[in-house]
Amino acid sequence: MNVLKKILKSFSGSSANRVNEMPVAHEVQVPAKDEAPAPAAPQKVEEKTVYPAGEVPIPGVDNLPDDELDRLNKLLPWAAFVLDSKGRQFGVAHSAIKRNVPQAMPDPRIVELDRRIPLRDLTVFEIGCFEGIHTSALAMHARRVLACDSRIENVVKSIVRCAMYGTSAHIFRWDAEEALPAGVSVDCDVLHHVGVLYHLTDPVGHLKTLLPHVRKGVMLDTQIAPEDAKALTYESGGRTYRYHHYREAGREAPFAGMLDHAKWLFKDDLLALLAEAGFDSIDVANFEIQRNGPRILIYATRSSSGS
């Protein structure tokens, strides 16, 4: 019943809370007549529990009997998994070669993001929540988490995953190919943007629409155009941008873009877009050549961000 309440609460757009966050009770004493009030006791500062990678408790799963966990893993079309405290899978591997190992919890990129921009009192907006693994980790670190995905099944899986971890986030369906969602404020302190930009047909328009809503910083992890690729061009916002054409499998493939192709931006153009949006500290933290092409991890911040 508690899990069901959490799921329903997530649909209502409740703000995310860190695990084990409990209010601190303070006893109030009335001073005797003519007696000076006693100095206020120092406020107790809540300590955040930090777990080693792979050892984060999953309260809603750890105590499930094996047969009930098996039911949970068959209820939804999972395509990735984590391990509970007993080493059991929560979720399912996508295939024998893709998402076939336990996913890191928390992901090292989120740990590094929190080191660079402490998330404790901030609002984070996650683009592409997939199955809620990153969403749950962000909700353990940040004050509030917004998360979206273009596939409604991923929205449901993320809500369930967060509920099982004992966290919550405002999770909603939004296709990043479309205009900003009506009735939802996407204003945030930090943008978590992992594995989505290279699936879009207009990545420039997407960033130009979204980045003005980000007050402090961005973590952007995306594939980019190979430097030796044939450069095509397209127009967005009255300007022409280079791109590499990449074929996509469409809606039914869980790791593909929603349309028939995507435009991969060139590295210099992507960095220029971030700079033009006001992010004056841009760190390329990782660059590697993967099977499909080059991939880049960027942490970008504004020096004049609001408090």
Q: Is the pLDDT confidence value at 32 over 50?
A: no
Burial 257-287 (b: 16+ CB within 10 A, else e): bbeeebbbbbbebbbebbeebebeebeeeee
Q: How many domains would you assign to the chain?
A: 1
- 25-34, 49-58, 223-232, 298-307: segment of lowest average pLDDT: 25-34
Quote the pLDDT of residue 254.
84
Asked if the bond preceding 77 is cis, omega within 30° of 0, the reply is no
> In whole angstroms, what is the distance from residue 277 CA to residue 280 CA?
9
Span between the terminal Cα atoms of the chain, in Å: 39
One-letter amino acid of 210: L
Q: Tell me, yes or no, whether 49 lies in a domain.
A: no
Quote the pLDDT of residue 55.
66
Quote the pLDDT of residue 251.
86
Top-confidence residue, 43 or 204: 204
Top-confidence residue, 307 or 267: 267
Q: Tell me, yes or no, whether 254 lies in a domain.
A: yes
Q: Tell me, yes or no, whether 117 lies in a domain.
A: yes
Q: Tell me, yes or no, whether 256 lies in a domain.
A: yes
Phi and psi at residue 135, to the nearest 5°: -60, -45
Quote the pLDDT of residue 214.
98
Q: Is residue 259 a contact partner of residue 245, using CB atoms and an 8 Å limit?
A: no
Quote the pLDDT of residue 305.
61
pLDDT for 275-286, tens place per residue? 999 999 999 999
Helix axes 203-210, 267-276, angle to 10 degrees: 20
- Which of 110, 61, 114 lies closest to 89 in space, CA to CA? 61
Average pLDDT of 63-76? 97
Q: Is the pLDDT confidence value at 238 over 60?
A: yes
Q: What is residue 208's three-state secondary structure?
A: helix
Q: Tell me, yes or no, whether 176 lies in a domain.
A: yes
Report the sign of the C-alpha dihedral through residues 84, 86, 91, 93, in that order: positive
CATH code, domain with 229 = 3.40.50.150
> In whole angstroms, what is the distance from residue 113 CA to residue 19 CA?
18
Dihedral of CA atoms 258, 264, 269, 274 in degrees, nearest 10, equals 40
> In whole angstroms, what is the distance from residue 75 CA to residue 70 CA?
9
Q: Tell me, yes or no, whether 26 lies in a domain.
A: no
pLDDT for 140-189, tens place per residue? 999 999 999 999 999 999 999 999 999 999 999 999 999 998 899 999 99
Q: Tell me, yes or no, whether 85 lies in a domain.
A: no
How does residue 256 score in pLDDT terms, banded at 50, 70 and 90? confident
Quote the pTM value.
0.82
Q: Tell me, yes or no, whether 73 lies in a domain.
A: no
What domain range includes position 168? 105-301
Quote the pLDDT of residue 21.
40
Quote the pLDDT of residue 14.
41
